[in-house]
Amino acid sequence: MAILKVPLTAEDHAQGPENADVTLVEYGDYECSYCGQAYPIVRQVQKRFGKSLRFVFRNFPLSEMHPNAEAAAEVAEFAGAQGKFWEMHDRLYENQERLGEALYLDLAEKLKLSTTALRQALEQRTFEARVRADFKGGVRSGVNGTPTFFINGHRHDGSFDFETLVSAIQQAMVTAKSA
């Protein structure tokens, strides 16, 4: 059973309280269609568990397969550096079929981020190191494709449909409370 090897830190992009019973970590790729399918499901799961669940997203762009995945990840990190990670993350998934510079600039404008600064960050690969660090940590933790989920540090090898995720999280909750 693969275990999350890179502990959660303040650098992580997280939603939900730090002391939540269960933490769900996703390693995802903005261009991966399966991650696109998982996006609304994760939302539902978050709604279902409310404050008992913390959700963390880390980058795992499969760049050989998905030519836009790396840049999209860097765009989300660019927004994240200005406190708007989730706003950008959500919009990237909601516009997955339009990934590309035109979309990034458009989204930056909508989020009131500087398009000049975004262009510069992409050209200078300002957020490449951050994205690579996520990727490498994922590899060492046994991420085996996208999306890969970890529930309280254990890789979730089941499917990511709503029912399966909910029941895996419920089980983790029971384990956490009995420990």
Partner 1 sequence: MAQSSASNVTHRSGVLPAGAVAPNFTLHVTPDQTLTLSDLLGRPVILAFYPADWSPVCGDQMALYNEILPEFRKFGAELLGVSVDGSWCHDAFAAARHLHFPLLADFEPKGAVARQYGAYRAVDGVCERALFVLDKKGIIAWSYCSPVAVNPGADGILQALEDLPK
Exposed/middle/buried for residue 19 (C-beta within 10 Å: 0-12, 13-18, 19+): exposed
State the nearest-atom distance from the C-beta of 133 to partner 1, in Å.
Answer: 13
Which residues, 6+ apart, have CB-to-CB distance to 128 below 8 Å? 70, 74
HEC readout, 6-26 = CCCCCCCEEECCCCCCEEEEE
4 versus 107: smaller Cβ distance to partner 1: 4
Decide: is 97 part of the binding site for partner 1 (CB under 8 A).
no
Exactly one of 24, 53, 118, 143 binds partner 1 (CB under 8 A); which one? 143
Give the C-alpha separation, 129 to 133, whole Å: 6
Stretch that binds partner 1, among 25-33, 40-48, 86-94, 121-129 (CB under 8 A): 25-33
Decide: is 139 part of the binding site for partner 1 (CB under 8 A).
yes
State the nearest-atom distance from the C-beta of 38 to partner 1, in Å.
Answer: 11
Which residues, 6+ apart, have CB-to-CB distance to 88 below 8 Å? 75, 76, 78, 79, 80, 107, 111
State the nearest-atom distance from the C-beta of 135 to partner 1, in Å.
Answer: 8
Q: Compose the 57-96 pattern: x for residues touching partner 1 by CB under 8 A, - for all others.
A: -----xxxx-------------------------------
Closest C-alpha to 69, from 18, 32, 21, 121: 32
β partners of residue 14: 56
Q: E strand or H helix at 87, and its extent?
A: helix 85-94
Closest C-alpha to 72, from 56, 46, 47, 90: 90
Exactly one of 17, 40, 100, 145 binds partner 1 (CB under 8 A); which one? 145
Exactly one of 51, 98, 125, 140 binds partner 1 (CB under 8 A); which one? 140
Decide: is 51 part of the binding site for partner 1 (CB under 8 A).
no
State the nearest-atom distance from the C-beta of 157 to partner 1, in Å.
Answer: 6
Binding site for partner 1 (CB under 8 A): 1-3, 5, 29, 32-35, 62-65, 135-136, 139-146, 157
